[in-house]
Amino acid sequence: MMDSASLNTEFGLAKHLRFEAQDGNILALIDIPGAAQAVVSLFGAQVLFWRPAHSLQPVLWASSLASYAPTKAIRGGIPVCWPWFGAHPVEPGLPAHGVARIRAWRVIASGLDNDVVMLKFGLNLDQDPLIPQPVGCEVTLRIGATLSIDVRTHNRGQSEFVFTEALHSYFSISNIEAISVDGLDTRQYLDQLNATAGLHTQAGSIRFSGETDRIYLRAEDRCVINDPSWGRRLRIAKHGSQSTVVWNPWIDKAAAMGDFPNDDWPYMVCVESGNCLTDRITLQACQSHVTGIRIDVETLAPSPPP
């Protein structure tokens, strides 16, 4: 990985994009006056912070106990889970959620267009012992008043490549019991807390009263996080994604995670876009696939306190 000085020389964008070393990692710091601010980690090609100028609150949640050194996955922001989601389907001893979030990515390109910073990353997997065939992965970010992320997988080998993936988005919210998630009505889901019970069907909005860990299948729809206490809606549109994961650890699970503050579970929710379980992707030789999301913040009049 290049050092921060070399990155600033080759990819820095005047006052809008600069690179800074921190705890053995390098962060990309983005400031677009009147549009947005963001922080991106080169370890994991992971957006850690993004706030459009019109939003009073940050959009993404990040753990205050997260490690930002390149030794373990960073808890929060938008980790890239690739090329498997959850446990490896054959070797459960391999790292959960794949290798993308625990590898240093290289910067390929940057640019500025109409108050949108573009930042593209590539991951070199040719010598990676956990990926047995030649594949490539690129992440392209477009950061401005909206945030978009594309993950492109390219099979460079001669045999088929089967993978699962997710953009594991952690969203900052006023309170988990005060929000709802729309866009998944009538969709079937697997409850990860009771996986042997088979598929369930969502009825209406998702509301939260305990630990939640669901994988919605054949769910290509846009999702909306309604947060009346903060007077906003977070709209998550996606493409190339058939699965949506909804997760909140609640009290006991949060307490069991060393990098998750015990009292933070009410203030975050994960609404993840990807291709999981039976929605896995199969690429033939020389084929590519792109999964992407676009996040918009709609500001509303906040609801009065109860």
CA-to-CA distance for 202 and 199, rounded, in angstroms?
10
Answer whether residue 126 shows pLDDT above 80: no
Choosing from 168, 200, 220, 289, the catalytic residue is 168
> What global pTM score does this model have?
0.95
Domains of the chain: 4-299 (2.70.98.10)
Q: Please tell me which residue in 97, 272, 289, 298 is annotated as part of the active site.
A: 272
The pLDDT of residue 36 is: 97
Q: Is 272 an annotated catalytic residue?
A: yes
Read off the pLDDT of residues 232-287 as tens digits, 9 standing for 90 and up. Answer: 999 999 999 999 999 999 999 999 999 999 999 999 999 999 999 999 999 999 99
pLDDT mean over 86-101: 91
Does residue 85 register a pLDDT over 60?
yes
| pLDDT (tens digit per residue) in 146-190 | 999 999 999 998 999 999 999 999 999 999 999 999 999 999 999
